Structure 1
Amino acid sequence: MGETEKIETHRTRCISKFKIFLLAIILAFVSKTLSGSYINSMLTQIERQFNIPTSLVGFISGSFEIGNLFLIIFVSYFGTKLHRPIMIGVGCVVMGVGCFLQSLPHFLMDRYEYESIILGNSSSNGFLCKENETQIFRPTEDPSDYVKKVKSLMWVYVLVGNIIRGIGETPIMPLGISYIEDFAKSENSPLYIGFVETGAIIGPLFGLLLASFCANVYVDIGFVNTDDLTITPADIRWVGAWWFGLLICAGVNVLTAIPFFFLPKTLTKEGQKDNADIKNDKEEKQIEEVKKKNDGIIKDFLPFMKSLFSNRVYMLFILVSVIQFNAFVNMLLFMPKYLEQQYGKSTSDAVFLIDEKRKRRCSKAFNIHGIILNHYRTAQDLYAGNAILADCNMDCNCPTKIWDPVCGSNSLSYMSACLAGCETFVGTGINMVFQNCSCIQTSGNSSAVLGLCGKGQDCSMMLQYFLILSVISSFIYSLSAIPGYMVLLRCIKPEEKSFGIGLHAFSTRAFAGIPAPIYFGALMDSTCLYWATLKSGESGACRIYDSTNFRYIYLGLPIALRGLGFIPALFILIILRKYRLPDENASSGTVEARVIRKENECQEMDQISKVLNNDELKTKL
């Protein structure tokens, strides 16, 4: 009776440990996707904070994948020979360190100063149109100091931190999935992986909520008087408190690491009976197997590679993943920028609307006048000296390379109050109203307020259609997640699973995660109409894009890539209809072995019964 209770207690303990691991790995996926979605949502804030082009922002985003590439194959291959839960825990801690490092520039660099002629000249009305007078635009600080600050390359901290975060994320997915596959019932494995995928969906939701909150908080909150600001979160120069969310992500990643350090290296497979003798035998066999595997690590590496590269289904699945991931990365990373430029949404609003898919165009053109510039003109036209001036502002002596837009009462945007011909103003901060604006042609009083004009009601309707189609297409796209995972897991041999998952992750990162943000960002930079001009004379971040070309690139390229991905997917379906997967063969082999084992047991029982019958007969005689 005591032995039976011992067996039941041990079995319950093993099951509980597996469930603890399942819960811990779900939380790990939540934390890693939370920090990933948060950082991706804050890329536009980082671009403005450091005044860097979109292509460089894409490189910073791709640096996460570079960190993965350092270790992904080796972790996937050697990881099964080591303590997988502890490796996952260490990875979560490293991710936390990476997030903390990314937030450091905020504490090391000076306060953020956005491009404006009002801040430095508000006391003397020097930002207004003064005909027949020489304007003196005073900088807010010594130009030589500003040049040094621009060239400090503080964005390198964000780059290095993202690389470290990528290194930490490396063991979570391949080792977590392989651990579930090894110790869960075959029929339960898809369900458990589905739970993990659910965690990967929940994480971005929290990440977007956090990003939306931080984007509404000014980057230097507590260090500056926000009442003096002349910009709002809807302004393209606004920078939210991107560093604050990174500190939260760092703490969450470290906390999720704790359970993994208390989990065992191996567990009894779900559904298998166990007792003390069998346990000891299994442990001895496992130790011997580990020793043999460690002795043949280098010997097995090349055969595994050869086996996987000769697996047609596996290689075609990698090709599909690379093509689809190129489209997915581009749509996801630059969604906030697209919503800002196309629909006039603030970053805070945009991160709520992040969903990837193709949509319709905004019907109202985004025009900036007074300058006078609309979205069909080129950047060369903008910098062509007096080409941006008109008769109404020719004598105002306005600076032509400072972006400080205002919205006129005629619903047209102007590059600055001076270029709108405004002569007086009332109010302070974001409540300033400019009056007597000679370039604003209206029947009543010509006035202007700070910021760009809205897109209009028609554009709001198109945004609703955009969101509806996004939800539908995202749902359809998500249906392929679990079947795709199962094709990946079932098309390779059991002993190659962890290594195969790692090689798949390596391929998607090397050929999609790293290059996609860079070339996509460069294509977006090519549509820029106006680059911010720093006090040092250098170009900063892009302020406004050609909305038509921007839309063609943002929507057209991913659509083409998604369509291209159907070709190798079709070949996979053809192959799967004709051939059995290795895992199915292994399963059938297991069934056959069970049948043979049962037959042998029956034969042994017959022989034993015959012997017993003979002994009884002899006894009777």
Structure 2
Amino acid sequence: MGPRIGPAQMPEKETKATMGTEDTPGGKASPDAQDSRPSVFHSIKLFVLCHSLLQLAQLMISGYLKSSISTVEKRFGLSSQTSGLLAAFNEVGNTALIVFVSYFGSRVHRPRLIGCGAVLVALAGLLMTLPHFISEPYRYDHTSPEDMPQDFKVSLCLPTTSAPTPDPSNGSCSSYTEARHLTVVGIMFMAQTLLGVGGVPIQPFGISYIDDFAHNSNSPLYLGILFAVTTMGPGMAYGLGGLMLRLYVDIDRMPEGGISLTTKDPRWVGAWWLGFLISAGLVALAATPYFFFPREMPKEKHELHFRRKVLAVASSPVSKGKDPVSEQSPGESPKKQDGLAEVAPDLTVIQFIKVFPRVLLRTLRHPIFLLVVLSQVCVSSMVAGMAIFLPKFLERQFSVTASHANLLIGCLSFPLAIVGMVVGGALVKRLHLGPMRCSILCLLGALFCLLLGLPLFFMGCPTHQIAGILHQPTQPGPGLFPGCMKPCSCPSDDFNPVCDPSTHVEYITPCHAGCRSRVAQEALDKSQVFYTNCSCVVGGGPLPAGSCDSACSHLVLPFMLLVSLGAALACVTHTPSVMLILRGVKKEDKTLALGIQFMLMRVLAWMPSPVIHGSAIDTTCVHWAQRCGHRAVCRYYNHDLLRNRFIGLQFFFKTGSLVCFALVLAILRQQDKEAGTKATTCSSGLEQQLLLSGPEKKPEDSRV
């Protein structure tokens, strides 16, 4: 009973379109009226350029959180499960509205709606930076008083610190502080939701607008350029994260005495908010032209010049092979009118909502469609977990900085993934692969991706020996000096790690090592801090500030090469799996089948996968930071457990994808056998009929 949105509005569209086209090209209009109209925005080439830049900026702002997720955890005391849920909230608003966007189609002013969505994305990016400006400056040593330099005396072994140490921690647990923390986290969740809502109309409306008003032969080229440019967005997001995280978080409000941290210090927090600010500005700039594009523009009349040259060089059979497609399209339109894709414009919103579940169930009954979508869900779950938590995994496992981890991912993983996607599409086109061979290609890609993941279980670093947490009693440390920490009264929630280079044992604070003095040495533009007179260390020190260096950080490059090659092989299966979906459903259901596939991947993969990976990472934590009696961010992980569970989840999803493609291949072979038996039975029945009718016809033949 809702308002009818469809054929009733089409005459208005046509009259507006004809009025717009008749005013500009005709010589009857006045030159002032002709000059006042910005004819440059009636070019579909300009729209392709603007849309490529907009989607690039949008993917940068949506992918930037993934590059700085570990930094946000440290800054606001979040567990990996909470940060995974934060990253997944980007998909909540998107999934809730994508079905209605596919319904409205071309009934709205698409460029203007794209511009409004982009403005909402930019506002969401600005909202993500708000927690930085409303929070207090970052204090990497929470036990030092406000009027004292951080980690100056409080982290040392001083008997006088026994009484005043509980005061700052009690003060930090006030109801106001807790409410402010919840407000900050709530703002980030709201910003991620708005980011997903704003991104809903950008891609589908842009693609349909290009396809409607571009020349028929130019449309695939324009869409290929669009996808090629936008796939660089996530890689640029990681590159931007690698640059921004080298800067200190409070670069806009540095303390007077400066800071004594380096990027290798586990307490270092980079300027995570600055990347959101830059990306939001780029999105706002890219959104401006969309408010000047018309609702409908004249369809492009001419083919691109260099494309005509290519077709002129090509042989005539190629052009002949393309003609039947254009000739068949008018003939297929009556058949498609029976399907929902053509009936949808005549439906009201309420009728569309009632019909959609029936079409969903009808589409899910196809075994090929269901299995291919499940395999893509497995691949997407793997990609979602890797994209969000791989930087953190590299930081913890190989002791690299956050900026270095992001640069490795942006320079290796994403370019190879793009190459894999292009190779998959080229193989399908060049070899003219049918459904059977497409399933074989997908099966081989999943198999080799699985095999490349096996060595990752054995490429990692052992867990640091941490005094009081993970410490071998055979090595020197507090075990040899039982009373070395008794007079120190060390604060329980302090975190200022120091390393004993002789034994490779790490202490949570200098106080836990019994250190009573601190020395700062200036070297070039950096200052190195050492702690001396340490009663729990053989020789008394000096102990350098910061965590112990990893002995196997050289393995990070081979690890990333294997991960990137596996990502490339997984992306090879993308195009042939889409072809399996298109050829596995009815013609009238192809459009909605792709929409259902997109929705199921978001609901079953991109939303739950970050939470699953975050929960698995949290189970490997051996030392939590405490915030007002509750655990906050994890400070130390068991590296072996972290590697086995993180890589094990990837192995599980790769195995699921391999099994689904194997079942698809088995079903296609069974269908081929059934088709072959039907053909043989039909031919044998025809032969029997000929044999039976043969003796009766022989006399007639002899007479002839």
- Please name the residue that 2:393 is paired with: 338
Offset from partner CA, 1:570-594 (integer Å, 9 cap, x none):
44456678999xxxxxxxxxxxxxx
Matches of 2:472 and 2:109, distance apart in 1: 57
- Opposite residue 466 of structure 1, the aligned amino acid is F
Distance in 2 between residues matched to 1:173 and 1:544, nearest whole Å: 41
Going from structure 1 to structure 2, the CA distance change for 1:183 and 1:477 (only over 3 Å counts) comes to: farther
What amino acid is aligned across from residue 46 of structure 2 in structure 1? I
CA distance in 1, matches of 2:241, 2:167: 30
Q: Deviations over 1:307-356 (max 9, x none)?
A: 53444444333222222111111111001110111000111111112249
1:453 aligns to 2:453 (yes or no): no
Show the counterpart of 2:347. 296
Residue from 619, 644, 648 that aligns with 1:526 = 619
* Contact 1:433 1:450 (C-alpha < 8 Å) held by counterparts: yes
In structure 2, C-alpha distance between the alignment counterparts of 1:494 and 1:181, rounded to whole Å: 19
Moved more, 570-579 or 334-343: 570-579
For the residues of structure 1 that align with 2:550 and 2:250, how far apart are their CA atoms? 29
CA contact (8 A) 1:528 1:542 kept: yes
Check conservation: 1:174, 1:502, Cα contact below 8 A: no
1:27-426 residue pairs with structure 2 within 5 A?
27-117=53-143, 125-130=153-158, 135-138=162-165, 143-144=170-171, 146-147=173-174, 148-152=176-180, 153=182, 154-182=184-212, 191-225=221-255, 227-266=257-296, 294-298=345-349, 299=351, 301-302=355-356, 304-305=359-360, 308-354=363-409, 355=413, 358=453, 359-362=456-459, 364-371=461-468, 373-374=470-471, 390-410=482-502, 411-426=504-519
5 Å-filtered alignment, 1:481-560, equals: 481-485=574-578, 487-488=580-581, 499-534=592-627, 536-560=628-652
Opposite residue 138 of structure 2, the aligned amino acid is: Y
- 1:495 to partner: Cα distance: 6.3
8 Å Cα contact 1:216/1:233 also seen in 2 = yes
Shift of the 460–374 alpha-carbon distance from structure 1 to 2, 3 Å rule, reads same
Which string of whole-angstrom CA distances, capped at 9 and with x for unpartnered residues, describes residues 468-520 of structure 1? 22332233233334444555566666765654443322211111111111122
CA distance 1:20–1:38, change in 2 (3 Å)? same
Q: 1:80 to 1:108 in 2, by over 3 A?
A: same
CA distance in 2 between partners of 1:555 and 1:99 (Å): 32
Identify which of 470, 477, 480 aligns with 2:563: 470
d(CA) in 2 for partners of 1:260, 1:247: 21
1:76–1:498: 8 Å Cα contact kept in structure 2? Answer: no
Residue identity matched to 1:164: L
Long gaps (5+) in structure 2: 1-21, 27-38, 304-336, 415-451, 673-704
User: Match for residue 608 of structure 1?
Assistant: none
Query: Compared with structure 1, are the counterparts of its residues 15 and 109 closer, same or farther at alpha carbon in structure 2 (3 Å cutoff)?
Result: closer
Alpha-carbon deviations, 1:172-207, whole Å to 9, x = none? Answer: 233334444555677765544432332232112221
Partners of 1:375 and 1:556 lie apart in 2 by: 27
Q: Secondary structure at the match of 1:437?
A: coil
Contact 2:165 2:491 in 1 (8 A): no
Once residues 193 and 186 of structure 1 are traced to their aligned partners in structure 2, the CA distance between those partners, rounded to angstroms, is: 12
Q: TM-score, normalised by structure 1?
A: 0.77
The offset of 1:61, in angstroms, is 0.7
What's the CA shift for 1:406? 0.5
CA distance in 1, matches of 2:347, 2:383: 39
Name the structure 2 match of 1:286.
none
**2:462–2:640 CA contact under 8 A, matched in 1:** no
Q: Distance in 1 between matches of 2:472 and 2:388?
A: 23
Residues 67 and 238 in structure 2, CA contact (< 8 A), matched pair in contact too:
yes
Number of aligned residues: 543
1:4-43 matches, within 5 Å, as 17-43=43-69
Aligned-partner Cα distance in 2 for 1:492–1:27: 34
Residue 494 of structure 2 aligns to a residue whose secondary structure is coil
Report the AA paired with residue 418 of structure 1: C
For the 8 Å contact 2:459–2:559, the answer to whether it is kept is no
Moved more, 325-334 or 462-471: 462-471
The letter of the residue matching 1:225 is: P
1:23, 1:579 → 2: CA distance?
45
Q: Secondary structure at the match of 2:499?
A: strand
Secondary structure, aligned partner of 2:162: coil
SS of match in other structure, 1:427: strand
**CA-CA distance at 1:151 after TM superposition:** 3.5
Looking at structure 2, the residues matched to 115 and 52 of structure 1 have their Cα atoms a distance apart, in angstroms, of 17
TM superposition shift of 1:268: 6.3
Please report how far the alpha carbon of residue 93 of structure 1 lies from its aligned counterpart in structure 2 after TM superposition.
1.5
**1:118: Cα distance to partner?**
6.0
Deviates more, 1:119-128 or 1:359-368: 119-128
In structure 2, give the amino acid aligned to 1:365. Answer: P
Deviations 1:515-538 (A, max 9, x none): 11112211211111111123x343
Which shifted more, 189-198 or 25-34?
A: 189-198
Whole-angstrom CA distance in 2 between matches of 1:519 and 1:388: 41
Assess, with a 3 A threshold, how the Cα gap between structure 1 residues 192 and 330 changes in structure 2: closer, same or farther.
same
Offset at residue 393 of structure 1 (A): 2.8
Q: Distance in 2 between matches of 1:173 and 1:503?
A: 16
Q: Per-residue displacement from partner, 1:112-156 (whole Å, max 9, x unpaired)? A: 22245567776984432347x663454795833553223421111
Task: State whether residues 245 and 270 of structure 2, in contact with CA within 8 Å, keep that contact through their aligned partners in structure 1.
Answer: yes
1:14 positional shift = 11
One-letter amino acid of the structure 2 residue matched with residue 143 of structure 1: N
Q: Residues 576-615 of structure 1: matches in 2 within 5 Å?
A: none
Could you report, residue by residue, the CA deviation over 1:276-320 in whole angstroms, capped at 9, with x for unpaired residues?
Answer: xxxxxxxxxxxxx99986442454544654553444444333222
Secondary structure at the counterpart of residue 543 of structure 1: strand
Matched, 1:441 2:533: no
Q: Secondary structure at the match of 1:432?
A: strand
The alignment partner of 1:216 has SS state of coil
Classify 1:317/1:256 alpha carbon distance in 2 versus 1 (closer, same or farther; 3 Å): farther
State which drifts further: 163-172 or 481-490: 481-490
CA contact 1:406–1:415 (8 Å) conserved in 2: yes
Distance 1:226 1:49, change over 3 A: farther
1:366 counterpart letter in structure 2: T
Q: 1:263 to 1:15 in 2, by over 3 A?
A: closer
- Is the 2:41–2:292 contact (alpha carbons within 8 Å) kept by the matching residues of 1? no
Residues 434-454 of structure 1 show CA distances to partners (whole Å, capped at 9, x for unaligned) of 112232236xx6211111011
